[in-house]
A and B are shown apart, each in its own frame.
Chain A
Amino acid sequence: MNWDVIAENAPQYVQGAKLTLILAFGSLAISCVIAIPLAFLRNSRVNAVRYAVSAYTLLFRGTPLLVQLFLIYFGLAQFGGIRASFLWPWLSSPLVCVMIAFVLNTTAYTTEIFAGALRNIPIGEVEAARAFGLSRWKLGTRIFIPAMLTRSLPLYGNEMIMMLHATSLASTVTLLETTGVARRITLDNYIQFEPYVTAAGIYLTITFVIVSTFQIIQHRFAGYLNTRTG
């Protein structure tokens, strides 16, 4: 065992963990905002709208995230037109490419989670709200969205954890997040166990925080969904 190497590289792990957090929570925050309207469109009565959103979620759930990332990072760069365009200063940055890929991917999953929850809201809740004469806007913000989000909590917690772990792919396009740091140490020092166990510990700690937070949120906001006995 050679833990001295890990101790020497502790600052790198701190940087890596910071980047992991930025990638995971940055993409989750953006995608959450986009997924809410998309979930409504996914259940739209207009066929064209519903199919368009379905096609998007199928495309991004049906292909591996790594392939999506390579297409955006290396694939787009192959076209001279894109390199000459105003987009290039953005697309030349690995961070921007990674965020685009992650947001597109996790939004697809989140949209389906939210849309499923939306379909499962008991019609009674909606009818009661209508009977009170709520406007469409208030019906959405006071009834549909809160009911959709609370019902999505368990599945969404899972999606957050999956996204956190998926950030390890960012190191394939030169972003040195937690896994990238571990890989670099293995290649510099030819030890395997210690660097990856350290990385695993970092992911486990973050996951633990996510799970605990979700339990609190679930208890506080989704308690009304629990089956009451007695």
Chain B
Amino acid sequence: MRTFFQTACAIALASTFLSAGYAAAETVDVATDATFPPFESIDANGKLVGFDIELMEAICKAAELDCNIIAAAWEGMFPSLVEGKYDALISQLTVTEKRRKTFAFSDIYDHPIFRFAAKKNANLEITPDGVAGKIIAVQTGTPMDAYVTAHMPKATIKRYDSGSAPFLDLANGRADLVLGYQAQIVESFLKKEEGKNFELTGPEMTGKDAKEFGEGVAIAINKKNTKLLEDINRGLAKVREDGTLKALMSKYFGK
């Protein structure tokens, strides 16, 4: 009887491991915070669209990965990646020293420009003293949040859970400035009816201007999953070589 149990247990255990290994090989779950057009958003039909989405699909195709891109909440994505619920994250994630401690990153695929947006003719001087007493809206836990927290202590900083909420409060006058990705500000706000009285303001900023803006954007991957990191980097290299990345850049940002 004892041997029977031992065998049964061994089979159960083995099948668990096998099925786990099999499942991991089958699909790669990639999460994205779809509140960030033109990089990632959900269209009227409930479909994920945007630069990051198309890029991820291209990378997966090039690396022959079966990817499943999932819309997730910004704050829930990071712990879910650490716990292994998701295999990777693509969400215009800037690579910073702090993030590198917790996640692995693919090669960098873009260097975004960060800008402020404000009401037209607001004549705000974008300096620590120029924004003193002004309300700056940012998404929590983003490079923009880190930047204004570190460099603009005299301003009031309002932090939001999603990438789109800061623009709601800029449009209705609750905030004086929004710091965001330039492409995000232009595509998701200035080109729309609500944004017609607003404009980009202040200097163009990148990771070279402040360390909070990071080294560039990349795909975050669970540190333990070195195989997936290699696969994604291989796919990214292919997409870069065959011109797909360039085509996507010019399609979305005209550069």
* A120 sits at the interface (CB 8 A): no
* A158 sits at the interface (CB 8 A): no
* A205 sits at the interface (CB 8 A): no
Known: A77-B168, A83-B172. Contact between A186 and B160, CB under 8 A? Answer: no
Mark A26-56 against chain B: 1 for CB-CB distance below 8 A, else 0. 0000000000000000000000000000000
> In whole angstroms, how far apart are the Cα atoms of A176 and B157 in the complex?
11
Query: Distance (Å) between the CB of A77 and the closest chain B CB?
Result: 4
Q: Which of A145-153, A187-195, A208-216, A218-226 contacts B (4 or more CB under 8 A)?
A: A187-195
Residues of A in contact with B, size category = 10 to 19
Binding site secondary structure of chain A = helix
* A15 sits at the interface (CB 8 A): no
Binding site secondary structure of chain B = helix
Query: Distance (Å) between the CB of B140 and the closest chain A CB?
Result: 5
Whether B174 lies near A186 (C-beta < 8 A) is: no
Whether A186 lies near B99 (C-beta < 8 A) is: no
Within 8 A of A (CB), among B95-132: 98-99, 101-103
> In whole angstroms, how far apart are the Cα atoms of A189 and B79 in the complex?
11
Which of the residues B78, B98, B161, B174 comes within 8 Å of A172, measured between beta carbons? B161
Whether A186 lies near B158 (C-beta < 8 A) is: no
* B82 sits at the interface (CB 8 A): yes
Which of the residues A78, A184, A186, A192 comes within 8 Å of B159, measured between beta carbons? A184
List chain B residues, Cβ under 8 A from A77. Answer: 168-169, 172, 174
List chain B residues, Cβ under 8 A from A92. Answer: 172-174
A residues engaging B (CB < 8 A)? 74, 77-78, 83, 88, 92, 94, 172, 174, 176, 183-184, 186-190, 192
